[in-house]
Structure 1
């Protein structure tokens, strides 16, 4: 993950908004695949994800804005491992390692996001517990959309094509409740 400099030195790479969008587009798509698989396996396989969600809940209650980002990523990785797709889960976890670097380099502050992260993780977990893979994947994409917008806002550059994220990742479809509300 480090850049190799002349003379054998290494440095933390500079990254751009396009790098962030690229990373999140991969996580959005691969995560949706993994989440659909988890739903297929059934709720009895959710033990590790349930334990990781309890850590998210504890960090949110404690307003631990440093810890919340780590336990949220552990929850996501637990879901990936639960899918029992070793290649996909391994790739997802490598993307998580890269994301950790981005978050650290940007010194991102999650103090205002503790409750949001907990709520997003909880609704994804609940949809998985209900074996609703499509809803869980949709909620995952909504979560990723919020994450990418937050991270992009932390970057100084503003030369991103305004619709690049939508082009790369698409838009999450509205949920059942949102679709009913739009029709009325």
Structure 2
């Protein structure tokens, strides 16, 4: 591989490991260990870490090196505000003039909406998650706006990381499917821009509330454990 290809390869492998939770928040990312693991030279690894720092997956501190970034309320709000804004741009573009949403796109969105309702009844929620990512991206991709498409797609990795790290369990998938997927498809089909924007915003606000509640619970659990241990010792 060329050096740029090695950098992209290293970045992809490290990014995927962070998203999957193999590298946890706060874990140090030691260059020599990564070069041995990925079988690439040190320079591409260093450049990969800088790239991942720009993406928000890695934090680089002077004299301390690189570590995996924390998942905190600020990062969740930042990611979702951007994704929400990109969605508003997409819906405005698609629904500002009749006929911009092609029949093939509507057919794709209809199928994904039907899948959403079907997967909501399965015990395994992974199908629901993947279908929802595909549904959102299909709306964005329908615009043909290259930057909007790219930025939205890149931030999906952050959302997958939030889900994996916080062990999100979706308890009302049938209700969510109806309110946020089927109804959104119907609003797009009917050309109702105002309703589509309302549903999109409500969908993302609910996601933020869910994540922030889980982060608060994790912080509370972490605060309680030392006190419980201390009482046990006494």
TM-score by length of 2: 0.61
1:102 deviates by 1.2
Distance 1:76 1:7, change over 3 A: same
In structure 2, C-alpha distance between the alignment counterparts of 1:126 and 1:148, rounded to whole Å: 24
Partner-residue secondary structure (3-state), 1:154 = helix
Q: Deviations over 1:32-67 (max 9, x none)?
A: 111222324136232222222222122113354232
In structure 1, C-alpha distance between the alignment counterparts of 2:184 and 2:197, rounded to whole Å: 8
1:12 deviates by 5.0
In structure 2, C-alpha distance between the alignment counterparts of 1:74 and 1:23, rounded to whole Å: 18
Give the aligned length.
157
Corresponding residue for 1:28? Answer: 84
Within a 5 Å distance, the mapping from 1:1-184 to structure 2 comes to 1=15, 2=18, 5-9=29-33, 12-39=68-95, 40=97, 41-42=100-101, 44=103, 45-110=105-170, 112-119=171-178, 120-155=180-215, 156-157=218-219
8 Å contact from structure 1 (residues 43, 129) kept in 2: no
8 Å contact from structure 1 (residues 72, 117) kept in 2: no
Q: Deviations over 1:102-126 (max 9, x none)?
A: 111111111x131132111111111
In structure 1, C-alpha distance between the alignment counterparts of 2:71 and 2:118, rounded to whole Å: 32
In structure 2, C-alpha distance between the alignment counterparts of 1:72 and 1:146, rounded to whole Å: 14
Gaps of 5+ in 1: 159-184
Gaps of 5+ in 2: 1-14, 19-26, 35-66, 221-234
Corresponding residue for 1:179? Answer: none
Specify which structure has the bigger relative contact order, considering alpha-carbon pairs within 8 angstroms and separated by 6 or more residues. Answer: 1
8 Å contact from structure 2 (residues 119, 128) kept in 1: yes
TM-score by length of 1: 0.76
Corresponding residue for 1:163? Answer: none
- Of 63-72 and 140-149, deviating more is 63-72
In structure 2, C-alpha distance between the alignment counterparts of 1:9 and 1:28, rounded to whole Å: 37
Distance 1:12 1:58, change over 3 A: farther
